[in-house]
C-alpha cells in the first residue's frame, strides 16, 4: 500500500525554526561580545584556529536563521514560497549539525554539551524534510 504524503505543516515546524534561528543569532552575538564563559565553551576555545573554525559557521548559521524566519513570515503572508524556503532552511540546518558532529567526532571529543545540540540540528530536519519532497 502506498504511503500517504502529508502536506508540510508550519504548526510545529515554526517552533523549531524560532528556537534554532534565534539561538544561532544569540549564540553568535554572545560569542562576538565575549559573553560565553570559557568553562562552557568548546575545548581550545581561545585557540585562533578554533576561533576561525567556529566563525566559519557564521555565514551558514545566519543563512539558516534568515531562511527559517523568512519561511515563518512567508507562511503568515500565505505565500506558497514558504515551503521552498523552509526546505532550504532544514537542509542547511542538517548540514550545520553534520559539520560540527564530524569535527568533534574526528577529534574524538565526546562532550555532550556540544554533541546534543548538534545532533538535534542534524536529526530534527529529518522528520520534516520528507514532507517537503514529492514522491
- Using alpha carbons, list the distances in angstroms from residue 67 to 8, 11, 21, 125, 128: 16, 17, 9, 14, 15
Query: Is residue 3 domain-resident?
Result: no
* Residue 121: pLDDT band with limits 50, 70, 90: very high
Query: Is residue 1 domain-resident?
Result: no
Query: Is residue 32 domain-resident?
Result: yes
pTM of full prediction above 0.85: yes
CB 69 within 8 A of CB 89: no
Query: Is residue 5 domain-resident?
Result: no
Average pLDDT of the segment spanning 50-72: 96
Res. 43: pLDDT tops 80: no
Higher pLDDT, 44 or 122: 122
Query: Is residue 112 domain-resident?
Result: yes
Of the chain, the percentage scoring pLDDT greater than 90 comes to 67
Query: Is residue 59 domain-resident?
Result: yes
Query: Is residue 2 domain-resident?
Result: no
Which contiguous run of DSSP H or E holds residue 49? helix 48-56
Res. 90: pLDDT tops 60: yes
Residue 120 confidence (pLDDT)? 96
Residue 9 confidence (pLDDT)? 81
Domain enclosing residue 61, as ranges: 10-132
Q: Tens digit of pLDDT for each residue in 14-23?
A: 999 999 999 9
Domain count, the chain: 1
CB 105 within 8 A of CB 4: no
Of the chain, the percentage scoring pLDDT greater than 70 comes to 94
Residue 7 confidence (pLDDT)? 62
Res. 91: pLDDT tops 80: yes
Amino acid at each position: 500500500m502506498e504511503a500517504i504524503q502529508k502536506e508540510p505543516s508550519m504548526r510545529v515546524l515554526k517552533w523549531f525554526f524560532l528556537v534554532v534561528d534565534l539561538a544561532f543569532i544569540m549564540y553568535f552575538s554572545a560569542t562576538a561580545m565575549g559573553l560565553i564563559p570559557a568553562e562552557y565553551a568548546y575545548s581550545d576555545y581561545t585557540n585562533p584556529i578554533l576561533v576561525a573554525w567556529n566563525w566559519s559557521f557564521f555565514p551558514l548559521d545566519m543563512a539558516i536563521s534568515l531562511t527559517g524566519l523568512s519561511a515563518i513570515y512567508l507562511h503568515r503572508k500565505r505565500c506558497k514560497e514558504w515551503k521552498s524556503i523552509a526546505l532550504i532552511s532544514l537542509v542547511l540546518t542538517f548540514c550545520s549539525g553534520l559539520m560540527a558532529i564530524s569535527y568533534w567526532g574526528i577529534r574524538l571529543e565526546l562532550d555532550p554539551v556540544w554533541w546534543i545540540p548538534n545532533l538535534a540540528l542534524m536529526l530534527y530536519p529529518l522528520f520534516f524534510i520528507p514532507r517537503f519532497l514529492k514522491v
